[in-house]
Amino acid sequence: MYPEILAQEGYTSVSVDEAPVREVFPGIRLRPLWKGPTGAHAHVLEMDPGTSWPRRDVHEPGPEEVYVVAGTFSDGARDYPAGTFLHAPAGTWHVPSSATGCTLFLFYPEG
């Protein structure tokens, strides 16, 4: 359709289903999607129902941006349904959990 777009340097794509899966905690899986030359990176995080991070998730050295793709995500203080966008500045923290299970798109604009 627009072959010149695909020929541009750095233009990449990946299917979530083809991304490698790494269990970071029981019932919580991370799928890395992309890493840029300056350290920015993107992931999909899948949390099974009833799972939670075992400790504070501190946003260092930079911010974390989260989009709730499916399910309901909790940061330890509030629940966020699918369609919610969250920006967590550097130095902030939360304790991720999900009573129902959820899928998140995570973006870290700084390395």
Residue 16 lies inside a defined structural domain of this protein: no
Phi first, then psi: what are they for 4, rounded to 5°? -65, -25
Residue 104 lies inside a defined structural domain of this protein: yes
Residue 44 lies inside a defined structural domain of this protein: yes
Say how many domains are in the chain: 1
CA 50-29-99 angle, to 5 degrees, is 15
Give yes or no for residue 1 having a pLDDT over 60: no
The reported pLDDT for the residue numbered 103 is 98
Task: Characterise 50 by phi-psi region: left (phi > 0), alpha (psi -120 to 50), beta (else).
Answer: left
Q: Which domain holds residue 37?
A: 31-108
Q: What is the Cα–Cα distance from 21 to 49, expressed in whole angstroms?
A: 18
The reported pLDDT for the residue numbered 98 is 98
Identify any residues that bridge with 104 across adjacent strands, giving them in sequence order: 45, 68
Residue 62 lies inside a defined structural domain of this protein: yes
Give yes or no for residue 95 having a pLDDT over 80: yes
Residue 80 lies inside a defined structural domain of this protein: yes
Q: What is the Cα–Cα distance from 107 to 60, expressed in whole angstroms?
A: 13
In CATH, what number is assigned to the domain containing residue 100? 2.60.120.10
pTM above 0.75, yes or no: yes
Residue 2 lies inside a defined structural domain of this protein: no
